[in-house]
Chain A
Amino acid sequence: MKILWLQASGCGGCTQSLLGAESRRGVLARLAGGGVELVFHPALAEASGDEALALLAAAADGTLAFDALCVEGALLRGPNGSGRFHVLAGSGVPMIDWVRRLAARARHVLAIGSCTAYGGIAASGDNLLEACGLQFDGAEPGGLLGADFRAGSGLPVVNVAGCPIHADWVVDTLLALAAGAFAAGDLDALQRPRFYSEQLVHHGCPKNEFYEFKASAQKPSDLGCLMENLGCKGTQAHADCNVRPWYGVGSCLRGGFSCIACTEPGFEEPGHPFMATPKVAGIPIGLPLDMPKAWFVALAALSKSATPKRVRESATRDHPLPLPSTKKGPRP
């Protein structure tokens, strides 16, 4: 499967994250092993200047065959629909025009990262940039290519959302596409691959014991659950971050900071400070997606009253209180 990769208005972080995929000989060898070839990638291509432009022009006019178009970064339609905020260097042509032409030739089109899927950070505030995603504008279908767009294969845009993506979300999607093992039914309602988006960040969270007892952190670096006070959206965010560690060891929650739901459309505008939890009558307004609100409230009250001392006290420290001794007799 031959891939053309373009970087629109993003930070390049999705590529940097992709390069960190775990692999004995590196992610490029891993992709090559699955039959995935990067015909063009701005961060990796040998071609530069005229040669790179010639290659893209040939792909756009159909003389160079390729299979998949991956776009990273938001699509900037501003100012005033001109696309002038992002002109592909050396070409004099706005990036949005390149993307429209290349998407029309591709068998598969992938949005890499939340910028490209939904608009992301670039679309926040009053969106002077007129930023949007490939097939979404926030959570609204549409975007640059329009809600009716279908790639040559019949699939809509595949939204590998995340800011940045976890390397394996992209690698697994590409390898599945290359193997012909990915169909429309493998996408969720926001067109994200279901293999990672039909889980909650909360699943596998190392702070689950604190969550169960509603033993909450009060300030950064506290060990407790981050949901009640520090804005964590792990119970509402679709992704498998806590069961698929970064670099084999980390995750946002393992790092001690809140999930900001970076795989969701509109994550950039939560309507409240990222690191604070909005509440009504002391109860967080954003509650877990996988249980009824009344249960949550009842269980929270009950479990709070039964919190073990070790859990309650560790929640507001950065080092855990030691476990009680297993030995009989007086403790040192």
Chain B
Amino acid sequence: MSRLVIGPFNRVEGDLEVALDVADGRVRGAEVSASLYRGFENLLVGRDPLDALVLVPRICGICSVSQSAAAAAALAAAAGLVMPANGRLAQNLIHCCENLADHLTHFYCFFMPDFARDGYAGAPWHAGVAERFRAQRGSALADWLPARTDFLRVLGYLAGKWPHTLALQPGGTTRAITPTEKVRLAEVLREFRDFLETTLFADALEAFAALDSPAALAAWAEARDGDLARFVRVALALGLERVGRAGDRFLSFGAYAAAGGPLLPRGVWQDGAALALDPAAIVEDVSHAWLEDGAALPPAAGETRPLADPDAKPAAYSWCKAPRYAGRAVETGALARQLLAGQPLAASLVAAHGGSVLARVVARMSEVARLLPQMEQWLREIAPGEPFCAEWTAPQDAHGVGLVEAARGALGHWLTIERGRIAGYQIVAPTTWNFSPRDAAGQPGALEQALVGLPVGAGERNPPIVQHVVRSFDPCMVCTVH
């Protein structure tokens, strides 16, 4: 058995190190480590409750609105506040804009450059892919970055700035849009649709969203020349529809508030079926984290106590806690959301080979194709002249939970207010689920499971297949170690 330590993993958000035990050309075990500690949960304690809206977005510059939305939801729950329809629609638009931009930034800037690497030179597809997706210099960036900036005008209009807006409040948003801004926003969405339909999908969004089987996906990819079709053809050539399976147990907190519950439902997907989510089944374990030992606790009662001497705890190998749902490690992300929403392509990809590199990326892109039309609809529903924000009255003693979906999965904030101040604040981020270390029972986290069995050639120091599997989860380590 030999041990391979890989790090830093660039083109992820934050610091990640992966240690692999390799024998007979295969990964036998993996340890995933977050090598940075940030401690936001502790610095929130003692603050005015609304200060959370300033602090928590700064956990993450790539999903700052998600952090903001979770805090706003927790504060609203603590105060029993209900937001007016316009506030809900504007929050959905703001949040969805960030999530879609995030999916595509991941695709173009972080994920695809690995296929352009010299290691693949000689593959029949390599030259074209390298020209298009090379890190920093690929031609795709000259298309994507300006399209991204233009799309972020949604946040400029509705949220003032991004990242780190204060526009999301417990009662709605701070910016009532005017009729002319509504017209302009429609134009922004139209231009973005045009970019997606020309460059990414080379097809109508609705046509891609209607694909319902692996065979339909393969035929679709053969027939066109967009960036996503390029990826699908390469992925199938490399067998990535069979690579990167974790435990096939998926969790979503539900996304985008609608009148009768979230648009994308909350739940747990297990053994091919959707189950209701029970938030009380969530605990965080610290047995393998550089944190003071203690029992696995539900987040509402959670603690975060970093070790002054991490070396004193030999079993620990990460600053990340290990969240578990009903005692089991779960995977979260776009694939979980699409499965729970009953999307046939996601379901059939998982039915065929379980969660995989291909399934995760395709689920993200299905989400892009399905949600942009939804953004168009939300915008139409905004009624200028109607209120955008309900007034907040600070509760003296209360609990609140905010469960939302960041681009990369389930994000929860658990808040306690005592005597008008924050007395407890715990956060469980998507990558905390996906990249968690082992728990007290020795059960590995989702990525640790997904890495086992991957082939590693003799003398390979940084196998590309490992890079693909790691990045298929779109990790965000700064959130993980909040």
Q: Which residues of A are at the interface with B, using a C-beta cutoff of 8 A?
A: 7, 9-17, 19-29, 38, 41-53, 76, 79-80, 84-91, 120-122, 124-125, 128-129, 163-164, 219-221, 241, 245-258, 260, 262, 268, 273-276, 318-319
Contact = CB atoms under 8 A, between A and B. Distances in A.
A164 B152 CA distance: 15
B389 A221 contact: yes
- Of residues B5, B8, B116, B166, which shows the largest number of chain A Cβ atoms within 10 Å of its Cβ? B8
Contacts of B462: 48-51
Contacts of A91: 7-8
A26 B142 contact: yes
B387 interface: yes
Contacts of A22: 149
B7 A258 contact: no
Interface string B159-174: 1111111110101111
A76 B37 CA distance: 9
Given A89-B9, A249-B156, A16 B163 contact: yes
Contact of A247 (B54, B162, B174, B306): B162
7 nearest A-B pairs in the assembled complex, by CB-CB distance: A255-B160, A13-B61, A90-B7, A26-B145, A250-B156, A89-B7, A256-B174
Contacts of B48: 273-276
Interface stretch (B105-113, B270-278, B426-434): B105-113
Nearest to A272: B48
Contact of B15 (A23, A48, A80, A89): A89
B43 A125 contact: yes
Nearest to B45: A125
B467 interface: yes
Contacts of A246: 155-156, 160-162
A247 B153 contact: yes
5 contacts: A45-B136, A121-B58, A220-B389, A247-B156, A256-B174
A248 B184 CA distance: 13
B478 to A, nearest CB: 5
Contacts of A256: 160, 167, 173-176
A86 B36 contact: yes
B39 A128 contact: yes
A319 B385 contact: yes
Contacts of A251: 160-161
Contact of A257 (B55, B58, B165): B165
Contact of B10 (A52, A76, A219): A52
- Of residues A12, A27, A52, A79, which shows the largest number of chain B Cβ atoms within 10 Å of its Cβ? A12
Interface in B23-40: 33, 35-40
B160 A250 contact: yes
Contact of B11 (A13, A48, A125): A48
A11 B308 CA distance: 23
Contacts of A122: 38-39
- Of residues A17, A21, A22, A84, which shows the largest number of chain B Cβ atoms within 10 Å of its Cβ? A84
Given A20-B152, A89-B8, 4 more contacts: A45-B136, A254-B160, A256-B174, A275-B53
B156 to A, nearest CB: 3
A87 B58 contact: no
B51 A44 contact: no
Interface of B: 5-11, 13-17, 33, 35-40, 42-43, 45-48, 50-51, 53-55, 58-62, 64, 105, 109-110, 113, 116-117, 134-137, 141-142, 144-146, 148-150, 152-153, 155-167, 169, 171-176, 178, 306-310, 384-385, 387-389, 391-392, 461-462, 467, 478
A319 B178 CA distance: 8
B61 A12 contact: yes
B61 A15 contact: yes
A7 B174 contact: no
A84 B51 contact: no
Contact of B146 (A24, A42, A249, A250): A24
A206 to B, nearest CB: 11
Contact of A275 (B40, B50, B144): B50
Contacts of B310: 84
A220 to B, nearest CB: 5
A129 B319 CA distance: 13
A243 to B, nearest CB: 14
A226 B136 CA distance: 41
A257 B10 contact: no
Contact of A318 (B113, B309, B387): B387
A120 to B, nearest CB: 8
Nearest to B311: A84
A183 B116 CA distance: 40
B213 to A, nearest CB: 34
Nearest to B462: A49
A26 B144 contact: yes
A250 B157 contact: yes
A275 B7 CA distance: 41
Contact of B64 (A13, A26, A43, A221): A13
A257 B167 contact: yes
Contacts of B478: 10-12
Contacts of A128: 39, 42, 306
B94 to A, nearest CB: 10
B251 to A, nearest CB: 24
Contacts of A24: 146
A47 B136 CA distance: 11
B120 to A, nearest CB: 12
B50 A273 contact: yes
Given A25-B142, A219-B389, A255 B10 contact: no
Nearest to B466: A49
Nearest to B464: A48
B106 to A, nearest CB: 11
Given A11-B58, A14-B61, A220-B389, A44 B145 contact: no
Contact of A90 (B5, B40, B60, B172): B5
Given A28-B145, A85-B36, A17 B163 contact: yes
- Of residues B33, B135, B307, which shows the largest number of chain A Cβ atoms within 10 Å of its Cβ? B135
A221 B174 contact: yes
- Of residues B6, B13, B178, which shows the largest number of chain A Cβ atoms within 10 Å of its Cβ? B13
Contacts of B105: 16, 19
Nearest to A17: B163
Contacts of B171: 220
A317 B267 CA distance: 39
Contacts of B175: 221, 254-257
Contacts of A13: 58, 60-62, 64, 163-164
A248 B149 CA distance: 9
A56 B284 CA distance: 36
Contact of B136 (A10, A44, A48): A44
A245 B155 CA distance: 12
- Of residues B43, B141, B478, which shows the largest number of chain A Cβ atoms within 10 Å of its Cβ? B43
Contacts of A79: 306-309
B36 to A, nearest CB: 5
Contacts of A318: 176, 387-389
